[in-house]
Amino acid sequence: MPAVPATSHPQDATSHPGDVEPDTERPDYTTAVVDLLGALAYGEITAFTRMAEDAELAPTLLDKVKLGRMAVTEFGHFELLVDRLEQLGADPEAAMTPFAAAVDAFHERTAPSTWLEGLVKAYVGDGIATDFYREVSRYVDEETRALVETVLQDAGHADFVVTTVRSAIEADPRVAGRLALWGRRLVGEALSQAQRVAADREALAALLVGGLAGAPTVAGADLAEVGRMFTRLTERHTHRMRRLGLTA
């Protein structure tokens, strides 16, 4: 079973334990990576069950199948993450548990009541999460980053959502106002749950702003960079809403 990170870095605390003083006061890189993969894995399994459930709202069988296929893709990603957690010697269930409350709360507060709300959630909600995880993955080792990239890949379903939402707005322009509000609610809930996670999970937060023993990038981002990251996340969200024909 390979140690963490499996790729060799000069600062790698696990493969060269003598190089870095064990610092019991400071969470280490391994904890941060297990947190990252655990959060992603819980997000994927939950996205799977929720999307499959939302597929029941589909107006046609074909639409149900499309959302179903998106859900199955998420399940496949979940299994990749679980495999990697096991490779790292982590217990996948223990790795996911700290993120259950925040992810569940997000979904409970954003349960779609219509098919279109479900589609916007699948596109916009996943989009925010994807952007955020991509930003975080800039500070991890190459192998972890490659896995994160794989599970965050859009399986080409976004076009289906964009086309469906745009033609619904064309058919009834009042739809746009309601869905724009819905998009703002999704962002608000996502950010508030992300804050909750950041406050709880010291290692994950430290990964972003540096200061982790054994991290391949010792510095992480400085606070100005964190600010720029949030600007980028907001810009990309606005871009997605615009693609749907909605005001962010």
> Is residue 113 near its own copies by the rule CB under 8 A?
no
- Record the tokens describing residue 52, joined without a space: 């499959």
93 binds its own copies per the rule CB under 8 A: yes
Scanning residues 19 to 58, which ones bind its own copies (CB under 8 A)? 42, 45, 48-49, 52-53, 55-56
DSSP secondary structure string for all residues of 145-201 = HHHHHHHH---S-HHHHHHHHHHHHHH-THHHHHHHHHHHHHHHHHHHHHHHHHHH-
The nearest distance, CB 56 to its own copies, in angstroms, is: 5
Q: How many CB atoms lie within 10 A of CB 108?
A: 9
Report the residue from 7, 9, 26, 75 that binds its own copies according to the rule CB under 8 A: 75
Main-chain dihedrals φ then ψ at residue 157, nearest 5 degrees: -90, -15
56, 114 in Cβ contact below 8 A?
Answer: no
Q: Is 235 in the site for its own copies (CB under 8 A)?
A: no
Interface with its own copies includes 61 (CB under 8 A)? Answer: yes
**Residue type, position 116, single letter:** L
Residues between 149 and 188 with contacts to its own copies, criterion CB under 8 A = none
CB closer to its own copies, 48 vs 182: 48
Q: Which of 19, 22, 65, 239 is in the footprint of its own copies by CB under 8 A?
A: 65
Look up tokens 């969470």; give the residue: 27
Residues that bind its own copies (CB under 8 A): 42, 45, 48-49, 52-53, 55-56, 60-62, 64-65, 68-69, 71-72, 75, 78, 82, 92-93, 96-97, 100
